[in-house]
Structure 1
Amino acid sequence: MQQWAVLRGDEWWAGPVGDGDHIDMRGSTFYGPVTGKSESSRAAPSPTALSALPAAPAVFTGREDEVAELLGALDPGVGGGSESVVISAVSGLGGVGKTALALCVAHAARGRGWFAGGALFVDLRGYDDVPVTADQAVLALLRALGVGDADLPPTADEQYARYRAELSSREPVLIVLDNASDPAQIAPLLPGEGGGHRVLVTSREVQDSLPVRQFRVDGLTPDASRDLIDRSLRQYEPGDRRVTDEPEAVRQLAELCGHLPLALLIVSALLRRRRQRPVSTLVGELRVAEDRVQALRAKGVDQYGKELSLRPVFDVMYARMEPELARVFRLLGQAPGDSIELKVAGTLTWLERERLEPFLDELAAVSLLTPLPGGGRWVMHDLVRVYARLVAVEDPGVHEDVAQARRRLLKFYVKLLASAKTHVEGIAEEEPQNYFNTRERAVAWLDSERTGLLEICHWTDGDDKGRPDSLLIALYLDSYLLLRRAFDDWATVTKAAYEAACRVHDSWAEARTSDAHGLALFLLRRFEEAETAHRRALRLSEDSGDAEVQTMAWDHIGITLVALRRYDDAIDAHTRSARIAAKAGLVRHASNARVNLGAALGSAGRMEEAQDAFEEALAVHVELGDKRGEIAARDGLGTILFKLGRHEEAVTAFVHALGLCAESGDWHRRANIWNNLGRTWRKLGLHDEALGAHIRALNWYVFFRDRLGETSARANIRAALLQLDRTKDAQSVRRQALDLYRKFGDDPNITELPNTHP
């Protein structure tokens, strides 16, 4: 009979196989085969469930989609359980909440009854000064599996084999490998045999060398950011109502944090420490901080023992970069706006596309850039951009490289923006360097670069010698911002441009930017301020003898005076503008002034004179091939003909102007003309046609967010409905129109852009 023997401590126990009695065999002689097993004083690992997961995050919100997607990847039932191991890797910027997401998902999976074999967790500390190696991690995992020190194999290879053997005998196990920085930390820890095991990895870097399903995690939405702050405060003190009481301050605070969960948890900790102070005080401190990344730190550690400080997270990533990659990172951080075009990246780095793209790919792989769909554009997180600029400032050795990059970018934008402006104004054939084939492409480029262009208007060229390129960019943006009716933005950039011109004592630029600022103020209905800015431009241009700016300033003063109902003064101003332009040979400027003179004469009731002014201007614009000027002249002429009761002629003028608008893409003026055409058709008794015209105008006004135009269109729709005996509908529209009048002003006539000068 085969016998067995077991070493327990320092005593042998033996007996026949299958016999339940234990026999003391010390000092015995064995005859026949004996099976021996060494057993330590610690119990052998049991194939029952185990859990080594840290607690789920105490405050977690805004990741519903990510949680659902990860749970779908971890589900042991997916694929019929045929796979032995499925690996999911979560990547993202440091501080984006990868660990919290992984632990939330792991606990949810366990709560569903998955992974009956248990769950294991190890923090690989991949971005610490001394990361955890796979050799160290496997020891921790073996101990979690119940393997005592006395039973650990002597070599690393044997330990990995034992680890895989332990897993192979278990039901499905979830293994969470947190904070990995190198595939070498992960690969040896993957299970071998056994079905249904799942591995969940978190890392700041994409794990593209391993057979993983990759997930990328970005910042939270504004609503989720607000909820995270609110829950963090109320968990500490349920009665804390600051988020509810200061919604705008909380919104700004979340923006300053870039909606990054670590930053949001830091400001929450700061608010808990200063629980008697409003949120707005912290917003003010962060807004003026020289180093916002460094300012985002709080005392203590988080739930998982991690430091509540943002800068060390970024410092580690920067320190890991090779010198060339670090240079590209610093220079890309100088890009304005919320995204970086490939041409902008090339201009900043002075690298050809073939050399540049591998660096962009590498920065994306380590979560410092995010490629946008469609290719050709990347996003750098706001706080990462702040950090990139900071390290460039802190290192004197890179200052000149950065300064040259910024100058190159300014000149790049000046060239492209000058070309785009000609397309927006419909005079691209006059531009010797045409970078855009069509107006649509020019406008699309402006739309994509809008945020960056607005930011770059506030740059200086460093030494402020000569005319700053940032000033020219502000001036070249006028036509585009008018097209997009971004009057607040235009007022902001023209003010910055005027200040830049004063700083470098450029009298021409002072006059031109002051005039542009006045026009922006006019469109914001700040008429007295607008007149002041235009008269300042006039004084400056008279001192320098600049006839062109004098012409524009007088014309814009006239437009403002019409809005202030000072019609005689307005007529005088437009007359002066036309006279100065004609004397200087500025034919288009003179004709523009005649268009605006016609409008002023019409407002003063001098209809025949107004008609003459419009017809004279129309002839000049047709001869010049200036479609914008022709549209304005035909629209103005139609308005005067309407007032004179010559409605059929007015319709002809309006319809002709509509066709020109379609050719030039001047959709906002087209809305005004539809509105005028509808009024004219009503006078002719064509009420159905009139209603259709006013509805077209309303749709365009709503599209352009022109509330005054919308008000006028609704008032006209009401009139058309009344003429069609649709009284109930008319009452509803009247209420909407009155609400808009009360909110946005009582003069629906100032909805049209003035006939400005190129």
Structure 2
Amino acid sequence: MDETHNTISGGRFGAVVQARVAHVHAAPTVRDPQRQLRGMVGYFVNRVAELRLLEAASSRPGGPTIVVLTGMGGVGKTASALRWLTDIRDRYAGDHLFIDLRGQDPDASRSPTAVLDRFLRDLDVSPRDIPVDPERLPEHFRSLTAAQPVIVFLDNARTAAQVRPLIPGHPDSLVVVTSRHTLAGLTASHGAIRVPVKPLDEGDAAALLTAMTGHTTSAPELARACGGLPIALRVMGAQVAEQAHASLADAVSALDRRSGDGRSTTDWEVLSVPDDDISVRAVFDASYRPLPEDVRRLYRQLGLHPTPVVDVRAAACAGGLDPAATRRLLDALVRASLLETGPETGRYRMHDLVHAHAADQAAEASAAEREAAVDRIVGGYLERAVEADRVVSSRWRHGPAFADPIYSANPAYPDPGSALDALEADRENLVAAVRLAARTGRHAEAWQLCEALWGLFFMRRHFADWIETYTLGLRAAEQAGDPVAHARMQLHLGFAYFERNAGADDEAEARTGFTEALRRARRIGHARTTSSALESLGLLALRADEPALAARNFADAVDALDGVDHPRGRALLTHHLGRALALSGQDAPAVAQLERARAAFIAIPDPYNEARVLTSLGEAHLRANRPDEAATALSRALPHMRDNRVRHEQARILHLLGSARAGSGAIEAAGEAWLAAAELYEQLGDSRAGEVRAAVSALRSG
């Protein structure tokens, strides 16, 4: 038998195992968990609501929990996610993985296969052990992440399909996704919780600017100019901090340029940092470029819309589309976070800077595309204003837009109040449409829009809009070469000042408007406008307590209508003559005249003016010390004004009704009417509120 020697020589050695058969069990490799989440960088303000939603989402059982922060580019989704994860990451003992999916650029977007390959390598999987079959990669990833709760932060996802394979295995894990898209499919398939991230409000945006720059002066103004969008605030704050602008006020001036026609425009060069990759326009470009062409086209045409807010009908006009196709494209823009939707209003809104970007894209389209879109936008608003105004009242209107008999045969609204409410809801866009029409040389549409808005302005008392639009309408009528429209715009602009009645200047403007309208109407021989101008001068005389002069003007106005079929105009003048008679102390003739006016309005029918005549009858009875008859007439007038939300008339009726009740000894009823009148006057900013409250106090103290 050979001799065996168990010896080692020739150097220094560590532990030596001597065995005929050696079984060596290597201890498993212990690696440090991945900690890939970056910390918070820079400044962060508020986001209390978003952080509260995120915290509530993370405590839901039955995971893994998937949270999707959605919003437009540059709104602060990633910063909000990191701020939240900084607070809660210690709850997750496993790996913390992060990757930018680059979903804003479809050409550079990362595939789930590429991401899983990277994650597996980060988890120390040898390349030769990574499955070649892409379908097995998610299984392998889930197995490796099943032992402990992990965090997976997927920034800039484009689709739900990018996210699903990256969901880890442990049920208590957390997946945080940011996206400019809604990723509704992820909610449907995995119960993902969506947390919308919106621009900062003015206070928080100003606080961010102050934190970055140390400046407080003009911070709210710059915050508004940036629309609360964090990326824009960061750019402008960095420029002030680096002294590219001496102050926040200088930054506002640099950002808000004026075009040749006085419109505010956005200077995109200002909204970038030259030596960095921060550019607001680049953020929006990245959201716009991947869209299908039909979606891009509607986006451009919404940039031509005069405000950032549209409903489906307005968007359909802009795009020249039917409502169903329009909704599909609007939904695509919502999913891309280029539009927000308000389910309670049925309207869509673009961030101001997104709207400016869309307008820039429209400027690069063909002139034919732009002109056609503006034609449709202005024409659409004229159509909707006309169809509502035809329900508001039976007054005579000038202009071809009002000639279609379909408006009378098929009214768009069931009653005047509903029509006024519709105009009220669209008021901002309708006023902007007048501006757009005037600015782009669509003169006939501009003054006809004004004509259609008369009832809204008169009944709902929007004096600033009334005066602005009719000033534009007056110029437009002159440019259009329509002398009747010119006279009517002059007349109705004067009436805006008459109704506002804010002092001697308003009275002078009203008188000038009425006199000039009368001169123009007589020169062209337009009987209706001549009569209306004389009527308006009579109303000025009534207000000045000159009933005889008023009556002469009203009589001349009646004569001007000789041979003209205008029953409403004659009924109005009968009403005004009754008021003049009452003011001059001719009680019985006044009441008889007012009753004739009421009968005429019932015959037309014109319930609004019937209610106004009843108010004048109540006033006449009060003047003649007949409080019970006054209360009866006023009580009949009140329901129409209340039901149609004509608040200034409602307040006046309640004011008079309180006086009638007080006159008949119904003290409690008088106080109730006066208090209701005072509340309405206060809502309207009418100084008579103080007078009425003083009457209530006197009533109670007496």
Post-superposition shift, 1:199?
1.0
Matched, 1:378 2:338: no
Q: Is the 8 A contact 1:135 1:156 kept in 2?
A: no
Matched, 1:177 2:154: yes
- TM-score scaled to structure 2, two decimals? 0.84
Other-structure match for 2:78 = 99
Q: 1:215 is matched by which residue type in structure 2?
A: R
**Of 274, 293, 315, the match for 1:345:** 315
> C-alpha separation between the residues in 2 aligned to 1:722 and 1:597?
39
Post-superposition shift, 1:598?
4.1
Other-structure match for 1:519 = 495
Other-structure match for 1:493 = 469
Post-superposition shift, 1:430?
8.1
Instruction: State the SS of the aligned residue for 2:426.
Output: helix
Instruction: State the SS of the aligned residue for 2:687.
Output: helix
CA deviations 1:172-213 (Å, max 9, x no partner) are: 221211122244543443323x34211101111122343351
Aligned pairs (5 A) from 1:512-661:
512-524=488-500, 525=502, 526-563=506-543, 569-582=549-562, 584-600=564-580, 602=582, 610-611=590-591, 613-658=593-638, 661=641
Q: 1:366 is matched by which residue type in structure 2?
A: A
Matched, 1:359 2:329: yes
Moved more, 176-185 or 196-205: 176-185
Instruction: State the SS of the aligned residue for 1:460.
Output: helix
Aligned pairs (5 A) from 1:150-549:
153=130, 164-169=142-147, 171-183=148-160, 185-192=162-169, 194-210=170-186, 211=190, 213-220=192-199, 222=201, 225-237=202-214, 240-242=215-217, 246=218, 250-272=219-241, 273=243, 276-277=246-247, 279=249, 282=252, 285-286=255-256, 288=258, 291-292=265-266, 294=268, 297-299=271-273, 307-373=277-343, 376-396=346-366, 399-425=367-393, 431-460=408-437, 464=441, 468-524=444-500, 525=502, 526-549=506-529
> C-alpha separation between the residues in 1 aligned to 2:96 and 2:440?
61
Q: 2:670 is matched by which residue type in structure 1?
A: A
Q: 2:16 is matched by which residue type in structure 1?
A: I
> C-alpha separation between the residues in 2 aligned to 1:512 and 1:212?
61
State the identity %: 24
Other-structure match for 1:58 = 42
Q: 2:229 is matched by which residue type in structure 1?
A: L
Post-superposition shift, 1:391?
0.9
Q: Is the 8 A contact 1:62 1:220 kept in 2?
A: no
Gaps of 5+ in 1: 1-12, 15-20, 724-758
Moved more, 254-263 or 473-482: 254-263
The verdict on how the C-alpha distance between 1:550 and 1:278 changes in structure 2, with shifts beyond 3 A counting, is farther
Aligned pairs (5 A) from 1:112-131:
113-128=90-105, 130-131=108-109
> C-alpha separation between the residues in 2 aligned to 1:605 and 1:73?
75
CA deviations 1:648-697 (Å, max 9, x no partner) are: 33333323333554676645423211211211222232222211221232
Instruction: State the SS of the aligned residue for 1:364.
Output: helix
- TM-score scaled to structure 1, two decimals? 0.79
Q: Is the 8 A contact 1:94 1:204 kept in 2?
A: yes
CA deviations 1:91-112 (Å, max 9, x no partner) are: 21111111111111111212xx
> C-alpha separation between the residues in 1 aligned to 2:343 and 2:156?
27
Post-superposition shift, 1:540?
2.0
Post-superposition shift, 1:628?
2.4
Post-superposition shift, 1:162?
6.5
Post-superposition shift, 1:324?
1.9
> C-alpha separation between the residues in 2 aligned to 1:163 and 1:37?
24
Instruction: State the SS of the aligned residue for 1:468.
Output: helix
The verdict on how the C-alpha distance between 1:279 and 1:562 changes in structure 2, with shifts beyond 3 A counting, is farther
CA deviations 1:517-545 (Å, max 9, x no partner) are: 12222233222222222222222222221
The verdict on how the C-alpha distance between 1:604 and 1:280 changes in structure 2, with shifts beyond 3 A counting, is farther
CA deviations 1:334-388 (Å, max 9, x no partner) are: 4444533223333333333444433232222111223332585433333222222
Q: Is the 8 A contact 1:671 1:697 kept in 2?
A: yes
Q: Is the 8 A contact 2:76 2:231 kept in 1?
A: yes
The verdict on how the C-alpha distance between 1:580 and 1:279 changes in structure 2, with shifts beyond 3 A counting, is same
Cα RMSD of the aligned pairs, angstroms, is 3.6
> C-alpha separation between the residues in 2 aligned to 1:599 and 1:165?
90
Q: 1:405 is matched by which residue type in structure 2?
A: A
The verdict on how the C-alpha distance between 1:118 and 1:637 changes in structure 2, with shifts beyond 3 A counting, is same
Other-structure match for 2:3 = none
The verdict on how the C-alpha distance between 1:400 and 1:105 changes in structure 2, with shifts beyond 3 A counting, is same
Post-superposition shift, 1:429?
11
Q: 1:506 is matched by which residue type in structure 2?
A: D
Figure out how many residues of one structure are paired with residues of the other and give that number.
Answer: 668
Q: 2:611 is matched by which residue type in structure 1?
A: I
Q: Is the 8 A contact 1:47 1:117 kept in 2?
A: no
Q: Is the 8 A contact 1:677 1:690 kept in 2?
A: yes
Instruction: State the SS of the aligned residue for 1:179.
Output: strand
Aligned pairs (5 A) from 1:67-82:
67-75=51-59, 78-79=60-61
Q: 1:262 is matched by which residue type in structure 2?
A: I
Instruction: State the SS of the aligned residue for 1:176.
Output: strand
> C-alpha separation between the residues in 2 aligned to 1:165 and 1:47?
18
> C-alpha separation between the residues in 1 aligned to 2:196 and 2:407?
48
The verdict on how the C-alpha distance between 1:235 and 1:386 changes in structure 2, with shifts beyond 3 A counting, is closer
CA deviations 1:410-454 (Å, max 9, x no partner) are: 333333322211322278998234222333442343233222112
Other-structure match for 2:4 = none
